[in-house]
Structure 1
Amino acid sequence: MNISTPCKTIRAVDELASYDAAILENPDNAQRSSTGRRSKRAIGTWSKFWGNGRTLRIAFVDTPTQTKRLAIQALIKQWQPSVNLHFEFIDQGESEIRISTSSATNDSAVGTDALLYEQHVPTLNLNIEIGHPEFEATVLHEFGHALGLQHEQQHPKANIPWDKPKVYEFYKTHFGWTEQETDLYVLTPLGGSDHLWGSYDKDSIMHYPVPNELTTGDWEVGINTKISMLDRRVMRKAYPKYRSIDAD
């Protein structure tokens, strides 16, 4: 059994600042009740999507080779057909998303949380080379976070039959994670409603691999390498080109 080092995401230190940044950027990020009204703020129950139709300026904080830079940019552009956003790659000036290719981790701030960091601080880290078999999947996954997507295995309707003792042991042995970290990034379903989530998607680029050995019964998810159909559907709902009550 072998999976690459999983992404933890860059978590906002200040939840109130995270909420304020998300709502200021895009009022639709506020949690809504079944009646369509906004409910009172609760930690973890707001989305972090960018303002629809806006330009996201993307910069590199280090100097990857031209080949690597272009490869990363090409992968980021794979998200473009499903979002009503414009991606602008810049070499100088202020940016919303700042990429480091010399980090020790693969992770990203989730959507508007990137606004909480100063301009010299990277908001998306890549610790993977072009020749690695999971290079494309890693870039696609991390930029999914940058657009506001969360980890799919924590979908509130995933109902994955985890064998928890084995999961704790696996993440401790392979990655040095505590049980608390494993709960936070793997096992605990995230809050929210259909305002934040579409249908659960085993094929999502945002899904951790789930080895059969870590579940009870015959249940697994391999390493997803492409943006799935449902990933694109969620993005079209978050960033619609044409607003519609019945939009899918």
Structure 2
Amino acid sequence: MMCDLLLCKPLPALDIAASRRVALAERPTNALSASSSGRSKRALGQFSKFWAPGRTLTVGFFNETPVEHQAAIEKVARQWLCWANLKFDFVDSPFADIRIYTGGEDNYSQVGTDALLASPMDATMALGTKPDDPLFGRTVLHEFGHVLGLLHEHQHPKADIPWDVPKLYAYFAAKGIDQQTVDINLLDKIDKALAKGTAYDRTSIMHYSVLQEQTVGDWEVGINHTLSRRDRKFVRRIYPEVVA
């Protein structure tokens, strides 16, 4: 069964200037030139939010979470580290770099270095999907993709998804979701500079499922549960081994 499209919401930076400042302090190559159109449809358009290669990120839990639940999240999250030159240090502290809240039903994450801007009194990620849910692995991989600085693949500048926009708006209006939210999470394209020359990948873990009834013609994308070949290739490129 297909799931709703809005499975996750990467949180926008509250202060774009601060977001850019911490991103460039972490990694100067996060600075990107403007797109050829001279503008960006999204505030993220002028810079990426990748960590410095080789960085160790501490990861903790913001609420009481059973040890087995923590271990399940850690096991899935570490799949990214087979390809990205980063380290995750899961610690017994709510004041880690990445602070996970497991108590609700929502799934979302700050994108990359934006986690550094969050108040220490706030979580930087919510993982409401539980280990016994069939979508658990997919959800953890997706949210930790945001931790690594990855954005939604269905918003890739070359993702020519034939959305039936009136039906899409009507579908989510019935769920109490306004058009602006649909635009931000589905229809708006990211700046092409952030795609860093990569091709659109409909098998990416960062792609939402796309329901046929929200598109024109015979077009849909199922639920991606694993890291695609291009996911692995991309994070290996943006987090390369550091040569001493």
TM-score normalised by the chain length of structure 1: 0.89
1:207-226 paired onto structure 2 within 5 Å: 207-226=207-226
> For 1:1-248, what aligned pairs fall within 5 Å after superposition?
2-4=2-4, 5-32=6-33, 43-45=43-45, 46-92=47-93, 94-174=95-175, 176-193=176-193, 196=196, 198-241=198-241
Q: SS of the counterpart of 2:154?
A: helix
**Deviation per residue, 1:203-231 (Å, 9 max, x gap):** 00000110111111111100111111101
Looking at structure 1, the residues matched to 168 and 184 of structure 2 have their Cα atoms a distance apart, in angstroms, of 13
Partner of 1:44: helix, strand, or coil? helix
* Matching residue of 1:246: none
> Which structure 1 residue ranges, 5 or more long, are not aligned?
244-248
Kept in 1: contact 2:207–2:224 (CA 8 A): yes
Structure of higher RCO (CA pairs closer than 8 Å, 6+ residues apart): 2
CA separation of 1:136 and 1:197: change in aligned 2, threshold 3 A:
farther
Structure 1 residue 166 displacement after superposition: 0.9
Aligned residue identity for 1:181: T
Q: Secondary structure at the match of 2:146?
A: helix
CA separation in 2, counterparts of 1:181 and 1:33?
25
Aligned to 2:49, the other structure's residue is in SS state: coil
Q: Return the offset for 1:103.
A: 2.8
- Structure 1 runs (4+) deviating above 4 angstroms are 39-42
Residues 145-154 or 1-10, more deviating = 1-10
Name the SS for the 2:144 alignment partner: helix
Measure, in 2, the Cα distance between the counterparts of 1:134 and 1:58: 21
Partners in 2 of 1:2 and 1:226 — Cα distance? Answer: 16
Q: Distance in 2 between matches of 1:136 and 1:223?
A: 11
Percent identical: 42
The change in CA–CA distance for 1:236 and 1:169 in structure 2 (over 3 A counts) is same
2:205 and 2:224 in contact (8 A); partners too:
yes
Matched-pair contact (CA < 8 Å) for 2:164–2:215: yes
Q: How many residues align?
A: 238
Contact 1:32 1:195 (C-alpha < 8 Å) held by counterparts: no
Cα gap change, 1:20 to 1:186, in 2 (>3 Å)? same
Q: Is the 8 A contact 1:155 1:197 kept in 2?
A: no
How far 1:57 moved relative to its partner?
Answer: 0.7
CA RMSD after TM alignment: 2.2
Describe the SS at the equivalent of 1:133. coil
Question: Which segments of 5 or more consecutive residues in structure 2 lack a partner in the other structure?
Answer: none
